[in-house]
């Protein structure tokens, strides 16, 4: 998004160009949003050049034969630090969980209402995570670890801030910039916090954050 403007630039990636164009047209009617439909191949290659840069990217992870981790890596190469929103035609809580674990900020069903999509965009814009209720219910119903996580009251203020930020998809570099700390120091806070909570990895951090009402 260009400096000095208040418009949120959104890219919609889909193998179905008509669907991407339809969503783009609806978003364009909303004040403060600018949307661009981008047709992509099954290898997540764009069929035409993107104008960019974009603040948010909406993509269906179920369309591509690659892991969420590989997909996020390719999207980062294409769109930098744009925040990622997943929307899927398949009812797959495992895919939703994996996408959130690797940095997606929201995960939705393609059958949701436009108002729900708009709510998700607002939430992600503000730094929160948004889950379609059907995915949230499935994730919360699935045990995340073999041993119950410890209560958060044992965390320091810095450890809590770092873990909440990780759960929201921020990189250690981003968190370090916000706290005026090195990435190595942020990693130390993350390690201490996860050790206290008896959890490990971004996926379990995200699940703990959802269960605890952090996001």
Could you report the per-residue pLDDT of 72-99, keeping only the tens digit for each?
989 988 898 899 999 988 878 888 888 8
pLDDT band at 57 (very low <50, low <70, confident <90, very high): very high
Can you tell me the distance from the alpha carbon of 97 to that of 104, in angstroms, rounded to the nearest whole number?
9
What mean pLDDT do residues 58-70 have?
88
Write down the pLDDT at residue 69.
Answer: 86
Task: Give the CA distances from residue 36 to residues 23, 54, 62, 68, in Å, rounded to whole numbers and listed in that order.
Answer: 9, 9, 20, 23
For the domain made up of 152-212, give the CATH fold: Arc Repressor Mutant, subunit A (1.10.10)
Indicate whether 64 pLDDT > 70. yes
Indicate whether 142 pLDDT > 60. no
Check residues 118 and 1 and name the one with the higher pLDDT. Answer: 118
Residue 54 has phi, psi (to 5 degrees) of: -120, 150
Give the closest residue to 194 by CA, choosing from 184, 204, 183. Answer: 204
pLDDT band at 192 (very low <50, low <70, confident <90, very high): very high
What homologous superfamily is domain 8-141 in, according to CATH? Response regulator (3.40.50.2300)
Both structure tokens of 181:
């700390």
Both structure tokens of 80:
């930098």
Write down the pLDDT at residue 200.
Answer: 82
Write down the pLDDT at residue 3.
Answer: 43
Write down the pLDDT at residue 10.
Answer: 95
The string of DSSP letters for the chain reads --TT--PEEEEEEES-HHHHHHHHHHHHTSTTEEEEEEEB-TTS-BSS------SEEEE-GGGSSS-HHHHHHHHHHHHTT-EEEEEESS--HHHHHHHHHTT-SEEEETTS-HHHHHHHHHHHHTT--EE-HHHHHHHHHS--SSSPPPPGGGS-HHHHHHHHHHHTT--HHHHHHHHT--HHHHHHHHHHHHHHHT--HHHHHHHHHHHHT--
Write down the pLDDT at residue 189.
Answer: 93
Can you tell me the distance from the alpha carbon of 145 to that of 35, in angstroms, rounded to the nearest whole number?
39
Indicate whether 2 pLDDT > 50. no
Can you tell me the distance from the alpha carbon of 124 to that of 54, in angstroms, rounded to the nearest whole number?
14
Write down the pLDDT at residue 149.
Answer: 57
Convert the pLDDT of each residue in 95-139 to its tens digit.
Answer: 888 888 888 989 998 888 888 899 999 988 888 788 888 777 766
Can you tell me the distance from the alpha carbon of 89 to that of 201, in angstroms, rounded to the nearest whole number?
27
Write down the pLDDT at residue 4.
Answer: 47
pTM, whole model, 2 decimals?
0.70
Write down the pLDDT at residue 153.
Answer: 66
Where do you find CATH 3.40.50.2300 in the chain?
8-141
Q: How many CB atoms lie within 10 A of CB 171?
A: 15
Where do you find CATH 1.10.10.10 in the chain?
152-212
Write down the pLDDT at residue 1.
Answer: 40
Q: At what angle do helices 68-79 and 93-101 cross, to 10 degrees?
A: 50
């Amino acid at each position: 998004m260009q400096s000095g403007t208040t418009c949120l630039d959104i890219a919609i990636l889909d193998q179905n160009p008509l669907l991407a164009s339809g969503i783009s047209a609806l978003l364009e009617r909303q004040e403060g949003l600018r949307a661009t439909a981008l047709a992509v191949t099954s290898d997540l290659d764009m069929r035409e050049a993107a104008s960019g840069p974009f603040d948010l990217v909406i993509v269906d992870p179920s369309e591509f034969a690659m892991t969420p981790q590989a997909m996020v890596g390719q999207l980062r190469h294409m769109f930098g630090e744009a925040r990622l929103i997943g929307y899927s035609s398949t009812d797959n809580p495992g895919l939703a969980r994996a996408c959130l674990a690797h940095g997606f900020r929201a995960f939705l069903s393609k059958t949701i209402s436009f108002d729900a999509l708009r709510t998700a965009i607002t939430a992600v814009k503000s730094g929160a995570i948004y889950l379609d209720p059907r995915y949230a219910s499935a994730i919360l119903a699935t045990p995340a670890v073999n041993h119950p996580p410890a209560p958060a009251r044992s965390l320091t203020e810095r450890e809590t801030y770092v873990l909440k930020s990780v759960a929201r998809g921020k990189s250690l570099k981003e968190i370090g910039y916000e706290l005026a700390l090195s990435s190595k120091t942020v990693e130390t806070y993350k390690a201490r916090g996860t050790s206290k909570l008896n959890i490990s990895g971004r996926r379990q951090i995200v699940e703990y954050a959802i269960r605890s009402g952090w996001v």
